[in-house]
A and B are shown apart, each in its own frame.
Chain A
Amino acid sequence: DADVTQTPRNRITKTGKRIMLECSQTKGHDRMYWYRQDPGLGLRLIYYSFDVKDINKGEISDGYSVSRQAQAKFSLSLESAIPNQTALYFCATSDTGTGETQYFGPGTRLLVL
C-alpha cells in the first residue's frame, strides 16, 4: 500500500462549488503539506502543518482552507471553486529525522468548469 494517499485522484467540478481533497499517510510523519502544480510554474505551497495543532499559510493560500484532523490526515478545501484553481494538487509529508525530505502522494487532478 502507498504511504501517502490522496482522494479523489480526479475531480471535475463547477464554479462556485465547495470541494474537499483528502490526504492520508501511514509514514508516521508529523509534517504535512499541500501544493499545487501549474504548467511552467513548478510546485507552489498552499498550506502546511508541522503538527496537529499547527497550521500555516503558504505562498498561495487565498481561496483555500485546510483541516488537520489527525496526525495522519490533512484535508484541503476550496470553499468556492473558480476556474483558475484548475491544477494538479499534491499532498506531501516529512519528518525532521529525514532531513526535511518530503514524500509526495500521487496527486489529484482538479478541473473547475
Chain B
Amino acid sequence: AQKVTQAQTEISVVEKEDVTLDCVYETRDTTYYLFWYKQPPSGELVFLIRRNSFDEQNEISGRYSWNFQKSTSSFNFTITASQVVDSAVYFCALANAGGTSYGKLTFGQGTILTVHP
C-alpha cells in the first residue's frame, strides 16, 4: 500500500516570507513518481512538478523549489518570497511505476496556504 502524508493542515504567512510545505510518502516500490499540484480558490488542479524516484536532484523554478530525499521519504516544496497569489491548497501525490497500482495517484490530504498582504 502507498500513502502520502501532509502533516501541515494549514499554514499562514505574511507576504515575502519563505514557506515550506512538507510531504512524506510510503511505498514498497523502488520506482515511482512524486507530484505537487496547486488548487487555487477557483478550484482547478494545476500540475506543478513531477519527480522520478531515481532522480534526487533538487529543482528550482522561479520562486518554487523542491527538495526530494529518498533517505527520509520526503518531497518538500518551498516557496520563496511568497505572494498573495500563492494562496491555495497544495497537494502532494505519489504514483507507482509498476505493480497493481501502476499509474494511480495517491494524494495527501492537502495543505491550505494563506499568504496575507
| Chain A-chain B contacts (Cβ-Cβ < 8 Å), number | 59
How would residues 71 to 85 of chain B score, 1 for a CB under 8 Å from any chain A CB and 0 otherwise?
000000000000000
Q: Does A43 contact B (CB under 8 A)?
A: yes
Interface magnitude class on chain A: 20 to 34
The answer, among A42, A45, A102, A109, for a CB contact under 8 Å with B110, is A42
Query: How far apart are the CA atoms of A40 and B43 in the complex, in Å?
Result: 15
Inter-subunit contact B104/A58 (CB<8 Å): yes
How would residues 85 to 102 of chain A score, 1 for a CB under 8 Å from any chain B CB and 0 otherwise?
000101010101011111
Query: How far apart are the CA atoms of A94 and B47 in the complex, in Å?
Result: 12
Residue of B nearest to A48 (CB): B104
Inter-subunit contact B109/A94 (CB<8 Å): no
Query: How far apart are the CA atoms of A33 and B95 in the complex, in Å?
Result: 13
Residue of B nearest to A9 (CB): B43
Give A3-50 interface residues, CB cut-off 8 Å to B.
Answer: 31, 33, 40-45, 48, 50
Q: Does B25 contact A (CB under 8 A)?
A: no
Query: How far apart are the CA atoms of A104 and B93 in the complex, in Å?
Result: 13
Query: How far apart are the CA atoms of A84 and B37 in the complex, in Å?
Result: 26
Q: B95 — which chain A residues lie within 8 A by C-beta? A: 100, 102
Q: Does A103 contact B (CB under 8 A)?
A: yes
Query: How far apart are the CA atoms of A44 and B47 in the complex, in Å?
Result: 17
Inter-subunit contact B107/A43 (CB<8 Å): yes
Q: A33 — which chain B residues lie within 8 A by C-beta? A: 104-105
Q: Which residues of B contact A (CB under 8 A)?
A: 9, 33, 35, 37, 43-45, 47, 50, 52, 91, 95, 97, 103-105, 107-110
